[in-house]
Amino acid sequence: MEHKVLKKQTVSQMCFVCGIQNESSLHMNFYEMDDGKVVGTLNGKDIHQSYPDRMHGGNICAALDETIGRVIWTIEDIYAVTMELKIKYRKPVPLNQNLIIVAELIKNTPRMFEAKGSVIDENGTVLATGEGTYFKLKNVDKKAMYANGIEVSVPDDIKSFNY
């Protein structure tokens, strides 16, 4: 089913998952969708492999963690840190292919939230899933991070995703 992008989220300069200045980064982008979910784009390169043509499980975990943790941005302008993360690897995650991670909020409280996500290939096959609990960082000013160039906007023309 096609879902429309409402907003593209900011990314970081040096983050391992989304850092635009980090050569080892997964170079992911994140989008807030019309159904309240967040979609992350993923296309692992050879530097991210474990066995030939397969993404390393640690990279898959990091990609899921980042996408799932950004779900809170759809309703609150705060950062959060991972308290607990459970990953299930269902099928090998290929390199050099366009994949998406779809994440959604499960539970939200004043101090923490729970969310889940899935790595999905172009055929709609679920390759890995994750569920996490995150602690909200109320004392970190996201607007200051953006103003200081730590968080940046990188516009593109993506208008929708199918999932």
Which pLDDT score is estimated for 142?
A: 78
Mean pLDDT of 13-34: 96
89 inside domain: yes
> What is the chain's mean pLDDT, rounded?
95
Q: pLDDT for 111-163, tens place per residue?
A: 999 999 999 999 999 999 999 999 999 888 777 777 777 889 999 999 999 99
Which pLDDT score is estimated for 16?
A: 96
Q: How far is CA 93 from the centre of its chain?
A: 15
Which pLDDT score is estimated for 136?
A: 97
| 133 burial via Cβ count (<10 Å: 0-12, 13-18, 19+) | middle
Write the CATH number for 57: 3.10.129.10
Whether the model pTM is above 0.85: yes
57 inside domain: yes
63 inside domain: yes
Mean pLDDT of 41-56: 97
Pairing of strands 2-8, 30-33: antiparallel
Among residues 66, 128, 131, the alpha carbon closest in space to that of 105 is found at 131
Which pLDDT score is estimated for 48?
A: 98
| 110 burial via Cβ count (<10 Å: 0-12, 13-18, 19+) | exposed
Q: Total domain count for the chain?
A: 1
Mean pLDDT of 30-53: 97
DSSP string, 134-150: EEEETTS-HHHHHHTTS
154 inside domain: no
Which pLDDT score is estimated for 72?
A: 98
159 inside domain: no
**Top-confidence residue, 39 or 148:** 39
Which pLDDT score is estimated for 124?
A: 97
Structural domain boundaries enclosing 25: 2-146
Among residues 80, 59, 58, the alpha carbon closest in space to that of 71 is found at 80
Distance between CA 101 and CA 49 in Å, rounded? Answer: 18
Distances, alpha carbon 107 to alpha carbons 104, 112, 131, 134, in Å: 10, 9, 11, 10
Mean pLDDT of 92-113: 98
139 inside domain: yes
151 inside domain: no
Strand order across the beta sheet in which 38-42 lies = 79-89, 126-137, 112-120, 99-108, 38-42, 30-33, 2-8, 160-162
108 inside domain: yes
Which pLDDT score is estimated for 150?
A: 80
